[in-house]
Amino acid sequence: MKAAIFEEPGKMSVKEMDRPEIKKPTDAIIRILRACVCGSDLWWYRGIAKRESGSSVGHEAIGIVEEIGSDVTAINKGDFVIVPFTHGCGKCAACRAGFDGACLNPTDGPNGGYQGEYLRFEHANWALVKIPGKPEDYTDTQLNNFLTLADVMATGYHAAVSAEVKAGDTTVVIGDGAVGLCGVIGARLRGASRIILMSHHEDRAELGREFGATDIVSERGDDAVKHVMELTNGAGADSILECVGATSAIEQAGQIARPGAVIGRVGVPQTEPSSNTLFWKNIGLRGGIASVTTYDKNILLDAVLKGEINPGKVFTKRFDLDHIQEAYEAMDKRAAIKSLVIVADK
């Protein structure tokens, strides 16, 4: 099978690898149809984070179940599925509480390999999300929508849930990447009446408006804080979605939050902020790895099937697997909001 391989910072390749096999009775083998490049993949592509040379990559996909382990009963061979980056077991305290992104029964090793023709998926019985019917039942647009449910849409929604966005809120979204844009959708799904997107790029701001943003703040730094405070009549926002991860973004979120607001953060933090930054305004800070399977099963898949949301529009460039280098370059150079990778036809 062909798979995308990380060679060194700035260099990807496609190589022939052994097809994965069932190792545990809870495993499934997935034939990948579509995958994509995530903003977090750029950490090691840019050399910011370490990754072993020669390792397979990717953590978002949709595909067809090719084989199942003996303990897998909820999913069958031939099922069309969303393949989350999380592998929740569905049984531990974290999964039962709705935090499958923090499952207490870890998988064998680091997540990866979704950007390839086949994938071994652990905890398949609960974590995989079955899509009704077959891929050929859906349009290209719908297939892209399903793909976002493997990570980016669920992560954006997790930011909104973590921020406790509720009906009538004025919500600010920090970050205009794919996660932030999906956070706009998440805030709208939870009933925010005003959604302020902080964006410095017109193409992303335009998509944010389409997704439900009512206001765009294009300034940076203190000027951005001033603009948000003006829009909120000096009170600050009821809820803030921090979708960047930079320490400065969390600090900015604290500046624009009203007293008692909650910041939902899904960007992996560079460092934790000082508690005093948020203490004096009684501001809450929560968030982490998205509960992908829980959100998909409870709300997001149904919203896509009903046509209520179209998060697949974050894919602004598409590539086949043989052009994985170009897919990463497009993300690295901000030529694409998110790169779609077509691995196989329906």
Sign, CA torsion 211/217/219/222? negative
Q: Which residues contact 279 (CB under 8 A, 6 or more apart)?
A: none
> Given its phi and psi angles, is residue 54 left (phi above 0), alpha (psi -120 to 50 degrees) or beta?
left
Q: What is the DSSP code (8-state) at residue 101?
A: G
Count of other CB atoms within 10 angstroms of residue 215: 17
The CATH number corresponding to 153-286 among 1.10.357.10, 3.50.50.60, 3.30.70.20, 3.40.50.720 equals 3.40.50.720
- Note the pTM of the prediction, 2 decimals: 0.96
DSSP label at 166?
Answer: -
pLDDT digits (tens, 9 = 90+) for 105-145: 988 876 678 999 999 999 999 999 999 999 999 999 999 99
Give 228's Cβ-side CA count (13 Å radius): 32
Which pLDDT score, from 0 to 100, does residue 152 have?
Answer: 98
pLDDT recorded at residue 207: 98
Q: Are 151 and 59 in contact (CB under 8 A)?
A: yes
Sheet containing strand 2-8, edge to edge, reads 11-16, 2-8, 55-56
Task: Answer whether CATH 3.90.180.10 is correct for domain 2-151+291-342.
Answer: yes
Q: Report pLDDT for 270.
A: 66
Over the chain (346 residues), what is each successive 10-residue block's mean pLDDT? 97 96 96 96 92 95 98 98 97 97 87 90 98 97 98 98 98 97 98 97 97 97 97 98 91 95 89 75 95 98 98 98 98 96 92
Q: Which has the closest alpha carbon to 133: 80, 83, 82? A: 80
**Domain residue limits, the chain:** 2-151+291-342, 153-286
